[in-house]
Amino acid sequence: LVDDLEKLRKHFNIDKWIVFGGSWGSTLALSYAETHPDRVKALILRGIFCCRRKELLWFYQDGASMIFPDAWEKFLEPIPEAEHGDLMSAYHRRLTGKDEQEMLKAATAWSVWELATSRLYLDPSYVAHATDDAKFAVTFARIETHYFVHGAFMKEDGQLIKNADKIKDIPGVIVQGRYDLVCPALTAWDLHKVWPKGELHWVDDAGHSSKEVGIVHELVTATDKFREL
């Protein structure tokens, strides 16, 4: 994926660009910037996710489940209790299996779990996107589990934080919802500590979604700040 981004930059004859990404997009943005720091003017990141094992376990094994026990029970439904010890792998098996009915059930449950926990205030119409659009649910769940069970194909756990010295001269903004349960605030804090030029902006009345009012405000402010670079 990093190579794909670099191919796009070259294709459009862009010398240096501002890289913007949220959630999984922040993972890609950081990975790209650490690989090609000389091609990045600035970084605008939201809902920081570094795909560390502890981040994945927080959301898909034991952590966020304590905040949303009702939604968590629905997340567990497609998986037999004997496989609850490794839910990401259990979901991945079903999402890549031949039983289409089982695959769709798993895809819907996986997607609903994330959408149901993405906002500070639950929006049923937002969650319905996972139940009403089978194509979205299957694609979303398959891509996520593929990367997550393989640790995003990084060389080592915590790679993006450990290699932050490679972006030490790149200015940037980190926008983080204080009550983000999908990508908990600890990751944004850990990144900020090793990347001083990354200004951390907490949004105290937001969760994970880029559509929350406070998040939108900070992202627009950040893009305005860097538009003259």
Give the pair of three-digit tokens for residue 226: 């860097």
**Do 197 and 172 meet the contact criterion of CB atoms below 8 Å apart?**
yes
Candidates 111, 180, 190, 192; catalytic one: 180
Please say if 23 is a catalytic residue: yes
Active-site residue (options: 92, 192, 201, 208): 208
Task: Mark whether 26 is an active-site residue.
Answer: no
Q: Is 208 a residue of the active site?
A: yes
Read off the amino acid at residue 64.
A
Core vs surface per residue 121-147: b (16+ CB within 10 A) or e = eebeeebeebeeeeeebbebbbebbeb
CA distance 216 to 146: 29
Q: How far apart are the first and last CA of the chain?
A: 25
Residues 23, 111, 118, 209: which is the catalytic one?
Answer: 23
For the annotated catalytic residues, the residue numbers are 23, 180, 208
